[in-house]
Chains A and B, each alone.
Chain A
Amino acid sequence: MANANQPTFPSKPNVKLSNPTAQKLHLKLDYDQLTNCMRCGFCLPACPTFRETGLEQESPRGRIALMKAVVDGIMEPDQPFQDQMSHCLGCRACEPACPADVKYGQLIEQARDAIEEHAEHSIPVNGLRKVLLKEMFPHQGRMKWLGRSLAFYQKSGLRKVAKGTGMMRLFPKHLREMEQILPSATGKGVVERMGTVYPAKGEAIARVALFRGCIMDVLFADTNVNTVKLLSEAGFEVVIPDEQVCCGALHAHSGELDSAKALARTNLSVFKEAGVDYIVSNAGGCGALLVEYDHLLHEDNEYHSLAKWFAPRVMDISKLLIDHGRLPAFADSSASTEDPITITYQDSCHLRNVMKSASAPRQLMRQVANVQFVEMKEADRCCGSAGIYNVTQPKMAGEILEHKMEHANRTDARYLLSSNPGCLLQMKLGVAKHGDSSRMEVMHIVDFLYERLLETK
């Protein structure tokens, strides 16, 4: 193979680009990855936005062609181009479908990062982005404050006042709908409730650190508590470093790569300090960025080796339980072998496509006695939540969710389980809008399992 290892040709096209965003894209996009796409089209059927619209530009192949066209100087990164880059859900279902192993997730983040430097968002979107990404998620203290405020709002009657006065009507419809299905928030996270170390039941198999997640710890703090207890039951000593911060996933997906990197560096130091064998995540969206910290910081001389230590130690709770845990027995006491309850599962895209954990949660669900697991059609397809996509792209997210719920309703499941807070909220919204909340309950897989632990509670 001639020249396989020492390229003697320019790796990027030598074109003069006058548009500053085009220059940024030229600088930031990995041209090797753009070239690796051989345009076979195998990604098209895996892509939710292509399936929804049937339009090539709404597909991974199309988006990569657009990025390449900008770098090649064939087109300007105009507003439709930038809009198209935000249409992508970032579910990364195209990656397992790609024969050439194109790192699409990295490309879309690079594109968004380049666009973000010159972006002009509409005022409400900009305000929301700024508040959430810069002022809230990175600061666990503020997240707790948010949790307390939200809890106060939900419990104090203020929510009723807001609804009664019609104040909620000031918000767009999709935000009002989301507000209604938000679970009870709390300012008391997992550390406040359990401390920073929780012993293993019996002899410890390993010492693991819980990645608590910023949204998880405010909206799903009970799930975090149950995660720790379940890990303990399965033989793990759990530590919960209180200095840990947001994983940075929402930042990375929105083109705020520098913020994401800063958060990653903090987390790396904190978890190294904790001296653990694994870092456990119960949110696919967080876990997927944690396992890619090594890529995120690949140009960071100081932190890259630490990131390489960290990334392979990150594991989703389901996979850790299946691969290394002493599995306790689970059963549903309200049902029987003859008359089991039915459950179904919505994959977290990032858990499935990036952390590659599709089978572990299913193995766990199949182990619960008196429970029948029914696979939902297209469970591997994005539900439309996709980080803050359902907030920024409500129309597409709504259409995807409607199709998702057709499949979910067909399972007639009593419980619909998932493994990521965004998916849980979106599916709750789906059941509220297109299903029957009295017959189908949306739940984190950990909560479902913990409530069905036999004997030991």
Chain B
Amino acid sequence: MLEQVIVQQLRRIVGIQNFRDDRESLVVHSYDGTPMLQSLPDGVIYPESTQQVSDIMKVLAAHRIPVVSRGSGSNLCGGTVPIQGGVVMVMHRMNTILEVDQENLTATVQPGIITAEFISHIESIGLFYPPDPSSMRISTIGGNIAECSGGLRGLKYGTTKDYVIGLEAVLANGDIMRTGGKLMKDVAGYDLTKLLVGSEGTLAIITEATLKLIPPPKSKKTMLAMYKDLYGAARTVSRIIESKIIPATLEFMDNPTIRVVDDFAKLGLPRDMEAILLIEQDGDSEAVERDMERIQEICKLEMADLVEIAESREEAEKLLTARRSAFTALARLRPTTILEDATVPRSKIAEMVLRINEIARKYNVMIATFGHAGDGNLHPTAATDARNLDEVHRVEQAFEEIFEAAIELGGTITGEHGVGMVKAPYLEWKIGKPGIAMMRGIKHAFDPHNLLNPGKIFAKETRKRVVITRG
């Protein structure tokens, strides 16, 4: 509970309606898209301008009250669960596209705009913003920046960090800082823009972003290749890249995923296949044709059992159905779905998938793996039931081993979901003690009183998974 004096100060800034501390509001801001996490805040605030955010921060800083800034709360790392209470700051009201600059090919937006709405506006004026996280229909650009979201197009086009070139952010003490600009070159000091991208709301509150846009590709082609041999699929991925082709999409599904998808979508997929690759190339139509032919040759060379190229957009949609159904099919299997994002160098994909399957067997849990093969970003997904504590414990042990395996293979504990609460205990495995010390130093420089999204990224103890059982 916040003191009434503080509540009044906050209400004076945003208006009575835009600060809420009724039980209902607290409950519905106690969770995000991450399974099994819940913690109630003390209040929820909805600012409508940078100035309001700044004024709010001054009040909260003076009283040392934690703040969790968030968009739609769809992240998968517990990034916006208010684990230490305080105020949840919802950015939905700051949702304007301030400018699209066609001369400089940039867009300037407020953080609360929904990613898909932004993309559809950008595409309607003939431009292209590539980062496309699967949650884009509800995620916000601000949330994407905080988590440095990836998506299916990451391999060829990069992720959110490659498109954020300027930011306005409110610091812990309420100061307003501007970084970068409509500039493709800018080396004026440390790159604070890039530092804030992926900082998970722990360094500052983003209030405006300038994004880079590019011209859209002129044409696109889609292909599906199926393999009885997992290594054949993995070698295909490596060889495509070796041949100096960077496909727009290079997606992967393993055998458990294929079976679940086939049960769900009744696509008649061959259930004895060990892997399916979904490959798309875009660009000038001649180049696309040439690349797709070459990719097809590689698939055959690597003993693909079946290669299908879509001749029309409808056929392409059909080929895309299997991969698109993966998450839905897995989500319907059991009540609780835990979607992780262990990532390895792309040359290690086959090995990683086999390790995951082995680990799932060892702990007697259901884990299916799909993901972005081109950038080595896999989504081992566990289907379980939060109420079955014994099984949930085994799932956690399995994921712990999966993180270990990823790091052993030169990979990372998270490719695109972020550290948040869920991966905090494992961060040191990836970056070591000096890495943690350096990151803590940065955090301290930005937020000396630890008010911005406290309890995230840095764990009290390494290697012990944090699970709050109340949810």
Residue positions of A touching B, CB distance < 8 A: 1-4, 7-11, 32, 35-36, 38-42, 44-45, 54, 56-57, 61-62, 65-66, 69, 72, 74-76, 78, 80-81, 84, 99-101
Contact = CB atoms under 8 A, between A and B. Distances in A.
Q: What 6 pairs between A and B have smallest CB-CB spacing?
A: A62-B28, A41-B74, A35-B335, A99-B328, A56-B28, A100-B331
A143 to B, nearest CB: 38
Interface in B8-24: 22-24
B271 interface: no
Contacts of A75: 23-24, 27
A287 B391 CA distance: 42
Contacts, number: 111
B24, B72, B74 — which one has the most chain A CB atoms within 10 A of its CB? B24
Nearest to A4: B334
Interface stretch (B194-202, B380-388, B441-449): B380-388
Contacts of B114: 45
B28 A66 contact: yes
Given A38-B336, A41-B33, A3 B23 contact: no
A45 B116 CA distance: 10
A181 B389 CA distance: 58
Contact of B33 (A39, A80, A101): A39
Contacts of A10: 387
18 contacts: A1-B383, A2-B365, A2-B394, A3-B388, A35-B335, A35-B386, A35-B387, A39-B31, A39-B34, A41-B72, A42-B138, A45-B137, A54-B92, A56-B28, A65-B30, A66-B27, A74-B27, A75-B24
Given A38-B336, A54-B93, A69 B27 contact: yes
Given A38-B35, A42-B135, 10 more contacts: A4-B366, A10-B387, A45-B137, A54-B93, A56-B73, A56-B90, A65-B28, A75-B27, A80-B23, A100-B331
Given A2-B391, A38-B331, A56 B23 contact: no
Interface string B141-171: 0000000000000000000000000000000
A74 B470 contact: yes
A39 B32 contact: yes
Interface of B: 22-25, 27-35, 40, 46, 72-74, 90, 92-93, 114, 116, 135, 137-138, 327-328, 331-332, 334-337, 364-366, 383, 385-391, 394, 470
Given A1-B366, A39-B31, A9 B470 contact: no
A76 B24 CA distance: 9
B28 A99 contact: no
Classify the interface of chain B: helix, strand, loop or mixed: loop
Contact of A35 (B73, B93, B385): B385
B332 A99 contact: yes
A10 B386 CA distance: 11
A78 B328 CA distance: 34
- Which has the most chain A C-beta neighbours within 10 Å: B29, B33, B116, B331? B331
A2 B74 contact: no
A44 B387 CA distance: 25
B27 A40 contact: no
A9 B24 contact: no
A61 B135 CA distance: 15
Contacts of A66: 24, 27-28
A74 B27 CA distance: 8
A40 B74 contact: yes
A241 B34 CA distance: 52
A65 B32 CA distance: 11
A75 B135 CA distance: 29
B37 to A, nearest CB: 9
Contacts of A78: 23
Nearest to A36: B335
Nearest to A75: B23
A100 B388 CA distance: 18
- Which of B23, B334, B337 gathers most chain A CB within 10 Å? B23
Given A38-B336, A101-B332, A9 B23 contact: no
Given A2-B365, A36-B335, A39-B33, A84 B24 contact: yes
Contacts of B25: 56-57
Contacts of B35: 38-39
B417 to A, nearest CB: 13
Contacts of B33: 38-41
A223 to B, nearest CB: 36
Contact of A32 (B27, B74, B335): B335
Contacts of B366: 1, 4
A41 B135 contact: yes
Given A39-B32, A40-B135, A66-B28, A99 B74 contact: no
A65 B27 contact: yes
Nearest to B387: A9
A45 B117 CA distance: 10
Nearest to B388: A9
Nearest to A44: B138
A66 B366 CA distance: 30
A41 B90 CA distance: 15
A2 B364 contact: yes
A255 B390 CA distance: 37
B218 to A, nearest CB: 27
Contacts of B335: 32, 35-36
A56 B26 CA distance: 10
Contacts of A69: 27
Contacts of A7: 385, 387-388
* Central interface residue in A1, A2, A56, A80, by most chain B CB within 10 Å: A56
- Interface-centre pick from A62, A69, A80, A101 (highest chain B CB count, 10 A): A69
A84 B327 CA distance: 30
A4 B390 CA distance: 12
B151 to A, nearest CB: 15
Nearest to A46: B137
A83 B32 CA distance: 23
B341 to A, nearest CB: 15
B337 A3 contact: no
Given A7-B388, A35-B387, A99 B327 contact: yes
Contacts of A35: 335-336, 385-387
Contacts of A39: 31-35, 73
Nearest to A32: B335
B138 A41 contact: yes
B470 A72 contact: yes
Contacts of A11: 387
A3 B391 CA distance: 8
